[in-house]
Structure 1
Amino acid sequence: MTPNYDEGSIRTLDWQEHIRKRPGMYIGKLGDGTAADDGIYVLLKEVMDNSIDEFMMGFGKKIEVKVSNELVSVRDFGRGIPLGKLLDVASKMNTGAKYDSEVFKKSVGLNGVGIKAVNALSNSFVIKAFREGQVKEIAFSRGQVVEEKDLGKTEEPNGTMVAFVPDIDIFRNYRFHNDYVENMMKNYSFLNAGLTILCNGEKFQSKNGLKDLLEENLDAEPLYPVIHLKGDDIEVAITHGNQYGEDYYSFVNGQHTTQGGTHLVAFREAIVKTVREFYKKDFDPSDIRASIIAAISIKVEEPVFESQTKTKLGSRDIGPDGPSVRNHVVSFVQKELDNYLHKNQDVAEVFLRRIQESERERKAISGIKKLAKQRAKKSSLHNKKLRDCRVHYNSNHERKSDSSIFITEGDSASGSITKSRDVNTQAVFSLRGKPLNTYGMTKKVVYENEEFNLLQAALNIEDSMEDLRYNKVIIATDADVDGMHIRLLLITFFLQFFPELVKKGHLYIFQTPLFRVRNKQKTFYCYSEEERLAAVKSVGAKAEITRFKGLGEISPDEFKNFIGPDIRLEPVQMKKHESVSQMLEFYMGKNTPDRQEFIIDNLYVEKDEV
């Protein structure tokens, strides 16, 4: 029976109800903290952005941040929210000072939504304003006022304090990864010279802006010193390394636009245009940008982002009366980079040699590349290795962020996942055995090795990360020695030839349960010895304990419990102090005695229970 559609079908939700019912509209995907763009980090960012805007307007040179899984707090020393408007700012949609372009000309926050989203999606949310010797505090729970207090006089300096606890009903099993939090704080400091951020007792500050950012993120010595160029409302930094791929960091009004946008498109175009004109040679764009590591930050009046999470700039113009974003970026880079190369001939020579090396390598593999493409095209029509899904990351589908691919070993494991997966968002790529150790090889091997070529084609990353088909690339292997080795070989492959995939947070390790503990009433899947002991205690003396040895022995009916909403993934992350080349050389190179010594020093023997 078709339900009636009449006046009674129409509902108007309160602001907090709407945010809680459709959180994705406000903070993107929810997640559990294993990805840098998960919702809990967006909550932190929304609060931080307001404090950063105060600093950008010239108020408050310090921000104090505390982040734990129990509580997040941010205290700035700006002007402080006017006390009479504290309730409105925290709980009335489309309320704020950001609409007045004279007060906040080039701010990060735009529409007064962010802080309300944090409020509505928090089990506990407290906002406190210190202003002109007076202090006021309001406490909320899930967007509803719990208590409002005028605390009277205070000796505290002006500013605002926000403390919140993400709602466990919405952010299930979440935890903050310190690396992601640190990276966020570093980026804020790089983009705001003179600002000091104290986060969990650690100090973050920068003197040289984007130059510091690039040097922080380099995993080896660059081919030449970082080119650092600054102008009105624009700053860029450029260098080259020896890695494959292109690596960019882009920002708008202090916001990390992880998906780029009009400014990054213009920046990549501007580098090619300038280099061709400087050397008076029509180089291929891929040769000019091969191994580039660069950053761009621009300030735009009233920027237009493609979503509330502000990860991609859509603005065409710098401001109502300003030039287009493209013209502004291209003209700045053309003038300043050309001047720099003319004044620094030694850098210009190294730059030219890097382009020529890339050109030689590209031409050397062009023949095998052509054959590999033909082979991939032919096999893609009936590729037994790939069981694709319907929704892809490079589409406009509302669930594109959920798109993922499992890289599995053997037919039994891939069979279990294939039968229990979500066919809309989960693809499966099956390896036939241990892949090749690619450490120290050139990209020629990607085309010569059929399996790697098909994997590259499945991911759609041959030319750039922009057309990546899956947001999460998940290595799903058994938790035994062979499975660990396959993980290492695949991570080596991606770090060697597609490091951006790792650096941009797309590579994950699939965590499978080690034990199943159950009786007739309860079943627990345990991922550690601690969880097993807790489950046995909960189930009682008649607990039946099963030790899972491999993915293939878990039935599809059970497998769906592990790859659904509660899937456990461990992000593959590079520590900032680690060099990719040195790490790969140690673990995957031929330094056998050093590696043997490391294994002996770190050996752990697990004793089987009798």
Structure 2
Amino acid sequence: MAKEESYDGNEIKILEGLEAVRKRPGMYIGSTSSSGLHHLVWEIVDNAVDEAMAGYCSKILVTVHADNSITVVDNGRGIPVDEHPVKKIPTLEVVMTILHAGGKFDNSAYKVSGGLHGVGVSVVNALSKKMVVQVRRDGKIYEMQFSRGNTVEKMKEVGTSQETGTSVTFWPDGEIFETTVYDFDILHNRLQETAFLNKNLEIVLTDERERTPRVEEFCYAGGIIDFVKFLNEGKDVPEALKDPIYIEGTSEEGVPTDRMGDVEVALQWNTSYSETVMSFANDIYTPEGGMHLEGFRTALTRVINDYARKQGILKEKESNLTGDDVREGLSAVISVKLADPQFEGQTKAKLGSSFMRTLVLKIVTDGLTDYLEEHPKQGREIVKKAQQASKARNAARKAREATRRKSLLETAALPGKLADCSVRDAEMTELFIVEGDSAGGSAKDGRRRDIQAILPLRGKILNVERVGDHRAFSSDTIQSLITAIGCGVTTGSGDGGDFDITKARYHKIIIMTDADVDGAHIRILLLTFFYKYMRPLIDAGYVYVACPPIFGIKVRNKIHYVYPNGRQPEDEILADTIRSLGLNPDDGDEEGKAEGGKIAKKRKGYTVQRYKGLGEMDPKQLASTTMDPKTRILQRVTIEDAITADRAVRELMGSEVSYRREYIEKHAHDARFLDA
């Protein structure tokens, strides 16, 4: 019998002040990875944006200092510094050191707010090794210093100023975070998005970590109209639809405060086959949509069908256009502001305030109906595009059904040259999508036959960003992929299609291509396919990229493998590895032949082989370096930011060549990141 353990009041721990935040940071900022690190900035910026939405702030400055500390300055009212009536200490200290202390729990200080729980700035304080806050108000400048949630220096006057606002500088705590290095692009994209959503709000991002500080300024007089134009950059927009449609409205008078709201919608069609619709509530991105998105979609489909019937474009016996039809090629932004938003889940991914569905439905219905009546040429262009989408959708459905029937008929002999595994438990199995028959042969011979399946591809997969669904689903290569994976596909507009993730035959789908330009291209094409038609697999963490070695250093009879690290050029990685083996990277550079006739560099005491193709490794080498779960390196494919991901796919795989040229020129020196 097990020894009885005592369980009494002594076992109950109480975490005082901000100790709970430091003990369980993931509960407050999601994670302690790079995502959580950047979340600290969003918390401070969101407070400044709340001041802007309240009408008191017009400029926000965000600076990344050389030591990766961050300063956020706004010209709002400034955090109150008077004595708090309950705590009897400066209100500034209350806000910075006590959870759930803020001006956002009723509608007196902020009618609209993105930060709802009063935990933001105090959480940043708790997770910073140092924080300095300055407040400008009442003609004076006040300052306080904190460390890891505790007050280090009490509030004091440090100067005078006729301006108002708050300045927060913080140093993330290396004891908490996996990294304390900020990514400029992540900051850039989020701050630009914030500027789009707040018309005429000026946001300046400065990075002092470079020899010449990098400065980006964002300010959009058009607000979400400019946002939609930005989303459509690189896409072909019909001449008749060059000007985005803008609709705005607010609740009627007499509506209770908790059911009041403002609605802004901007939309514009392009000639592509995919839909990009971004929805926001109080500037918070809602990737799973919610009531505001439902209202928008219902209104859009209903109004366009009513217009098409009224104009005689849709005949009596013709079926109505579907939501997929009218949204094909649509870029839209829906931004709502409301006093007391209700979100589903802690991540605020979905807006649950039901009255917003009715409000958005009414405002979009009225606004779009008026627009179509006043712009008949544009109206007919929109309906014409939807009708073309309807025809293509029917063709795509037939192609999908043919693929599905084919997969059912081929259960005994799965598609193409698939070498399936023997285990049927999807959680244990892996599918390697391999470039070419040569690499496919090595992979088949070197794999673990019980859990690893191999699907070699012939040539390059179709670029699905540039073709419609019907063409994509008619491709033999894509049919093989769909059949092998087994879970179906979403439609190009992402409505779910016949996709069922529970039917996925593998929970690790690994793209394994050569470490050259062609291999990188195939990898991008495959990722574009997964992004467009099987994105839930990416969201679930099922899609990976294999990282094969780029060099083999043979010393005597042992080969030491060199992998890309995402930070250094290949030649630097090679030289560092050679030095780590006690050898001189500069000792000779004689060209010779390695085993099997492959080109290598023979040097004093060692030989360097460059692995440009997976087929250059024998099955044993390929297995040990790239396929064996004990020794391989895999990188999980994630989508951190929907706008960034969509823009990357659009620019790299779309029809506009100039964007690809610009990207290549900008990132040519980063070619080492192809496997990152």
TM-score (norm 2): 0.70
* 1:49-74 deviation line (CA, Å, top 9, x unaligned): 10011111121211111136712211
Distance 1:349 1:482, change over 3 A: closer
Q: 1:106 aligns with which of 96, 108, 112?
A: 112
Identity %: 29
Q: Distance in 1 between matches of 2:413 and 2:180?
A: 40
Partner of 2:29: 27
> Which residue identity is paired with 1:581?
G
Shift of 1:13: 2.7
Task: Check the 8 A contact 2:547/2:626 in 1, yes or no.
Answer: no
Distance 1:26 1:53, change over 3 A: same
Partner of 1:339: 370
Q: 2:522 aligns with which of 469, 478, 486?
A: 486
Q: Distance in 2 between matches of 1:221 and 1:463?
A: 17
1:366-515 aligned at under 5 Å gives the runs 366-376=397-407, 409=435, 410=440, 430-438=455-463, 441-453=467-479, 455=481, 458=487, 460-462=489-491, 464-465=493-494, 475-491=511-527, 493=529, 514=550
Partner of 1:289: 327
Q: 1:204 aligns with which of 218, 230, 235?
A: 218
Q: 2:654 aligns with which of 578, 581, 588?
A: 581
* 1:186-238 deviation line (CA, Å, top 9, x unaligned): 22222211211111132211111111100112122423121111112001011
Partner of 2:173: 167
> Which residue identity is paired with 2:248?
K
* 1:3-37 deviation line (CA, Å, top 9, x unaligned): 847224432334534323433322224443xxxxx
* 3-state secondary structure, aligned to 2:338: coil
Partner of 1:247: 276
Task: Check the 8 A contact 2:564/2:573 in 1, yes or no.
Answer: yes
Q: Distance in 1 between matches of 2:201 and 2:633?
A: 44
1:264 aligns with 2:264: no
Q: 1:71 aligns with which of 69, 82, 97?
A: 69
Distance 1:568 1:305, change over 3 A: closer
Q: Distance in 2 between matches of 1:472 and 1:160?
A: 48
Partner of 1:6: 7
Q: 1:143 aligns with which of 149, 156, 162?
A: 149
Task: Check the 8 A contact 2:246/2:267 in 1, yes or no.
Answer: yes
* 1:421-464 deviation line (CA, Å, top 9, x unaligned): xx9xxx99855454434375442233223542464564743364
Q: Distance in 2 between matches of 1:459 and 1:124?
A: 51
Partner of 2:246: 228
> Which residue identity is paired with 2:79?
I
Query: What is the number of equivalent residue pairs in this alignment?
Result: 565
* 3-state secondary structure, aligned to 1:197: strand
* 3-state secondary structure, aligned to 2:15: coil
1:83-98 aligned at under 5 Å gives the runs 83=81, 84-98=90-104
Q: Distance in 2 between matches of 1:275 and 1:540?
A: 72
> Which residue identity is paired with 1:27?
I
Q: Distance in 2 between matches of 1:188 and 1:272?
A: 29
Partner of 1:399: none
* 1:569-590 deviation line (CA, Å, top 9, x unaligned): 9996746995853446997xxx
Distance 1:510 1:145, change over 3 A: farther
Distance 1:30 1:546, change over 3 A: farther
Task: Check the 8 A contact 1:516/1:548 in 2, yes or no.
Answer: yes
Q: Distance in 2 between matches of 1:333 and 1:380?
A: 48
Partner of 2:39: 42
Q: Distance in 1 between matches of 2:448 and 2:41?
A: 36
Distance 1:154 1:582, change over 3 A: same
> Which residue identity is paired with 2:227?
L
Q: Distance in 1 between matches of 2:490 and 2:367?
A: 32
Shift of 1:262: 2.0
> Which residue identity is paired with 1:211?
I
Shift of 1:183: 2.1
Task: Check the 8 A contact 2:295/2:360 in 1, yes or no.
Answer: yes
> Which residue identity is paired with 2:42?
K
Distance 1:576 1:604, change over 3 A: closer
Q: Distance in 1 between matches of 2:13 and 2:578?
A: 47
Partner of 2:230: 216
Q: Distance in 1 between matches of 2:43 and 2:328?
A: 35
Shift of 1:542: 10
Task: Check the 8 A contact 2:551/2:561 in 1, yes or no.
Answer: no
Shift of 1:510: 5.9
RMSD over aligned CA atoms reads: 4.8
Which range is displaced more, 448-457 or 357-366? 448-457
**Gaps spanning 5+ residues in structure 2: where?**
82-89, 207-214, 251-261, 315-319, 586-605, 615-621
Q: Distance in 1 between matches of 2:549 and 2:367?
A: 55
Q: Distance in 1 between matches of 2:181 and 2:449?
A: 30
Q: Distance in 2 between matches of 1:347 and 1:481?
A: 43
* 3-state secondary structure, aligned to 1:13: coil
Q: 2:349 aligns with which of 290, 294, 311?
A: 311
1:184 aligns with 2:222: no
> Which residue identity is paired with 2:29?
I
Partner of 1:319: none
> Which residue identity is paired with 1:283?
L
* 3-state secondary structure, aligned to 1:299: strand
Task: Check the 8 A contact 1:31/1:174 in 2, yes or no.
Answer: no
Structure showing greater Rg: 2
Distance 1:366 1:263, change over 3 A: same
* 3-state secondary structure, aligned to 1:162: strand
Task: Check the 8 A contact 1:492/1:584 in 2, yes or no.
Answer: no
Task: Check the 8 A contact 1:128/1:138 in 2, yes or no.
Answer: yes
Task: Check the 8 A contact 2:68/2:181 in 1, yes or no.
Answer: no
Task: Check the 8 A contact 1:247/1:500 in 2, yes or no.
Answer: no
Q: Distance in 1 between matches of 2:114 and 2:349?
A: 11
